[in-house]
Amino acid sequence: MTDQPLKAQIERPKKAYLDSPLSFLMITTYYPPYNFGGDGIYIYRLSNELARRGHKVDVVHCTDAYSVLAKTGPKGDYPNHAPISLFSLKSRLGVLSPLLTQQTSYPFAKAAKIKELISKNHLNATSSDCRAGERASG
């Protein structure tokens, strides 16, 4: 133990680390304008703030889940910062796609497309609930 105050004991990250842009991959169900609020708006704001700070952000989202519940088409204008790449996924299975995903916690109808996006766009997916690469290839 040291006599220094706790605040002085915390080592600050090196400045070079803070200046290096990071890459983020967001895999989500809802993203504006295909959202009802809540989680979609949270990911939208987080992604845009990260992009505003100079980081690269890729967002993969499902349009099927929105279409199942929406009575009308998507509304609103949600501009994204330039470093954001948006990938909207739609399945031929329609309503079955989000239902399968919700029941199994695995995007059966979209796993191959997610894996393709990760590979083709050199996205770094070190952790995700969908485990798309693991199940789609094995």
What is the residue whose two structure tokens read 């909207």? 88
Per-residue pLDDT band at 33 (split at 50, 70, 90): very high
Query: For residues 51 and 5, which has the higher predicted lDDT (pLDDT)?
Result: 51
Please state the domain extents for the chain.
20-137
Per-residue pLDDT band at 125 (split at 50, 70, 90): low
Residue ranges of the alpha helices (H) in 35-80?
39-52, 64-69
pLDDT given at position 107: 87
- Please, what is the Cα angle at 108 between 117 and 24, to 5 degrees? 35
> Domain 20-137 falls in which CATH fold?
Rossmann fold (3.40.50)
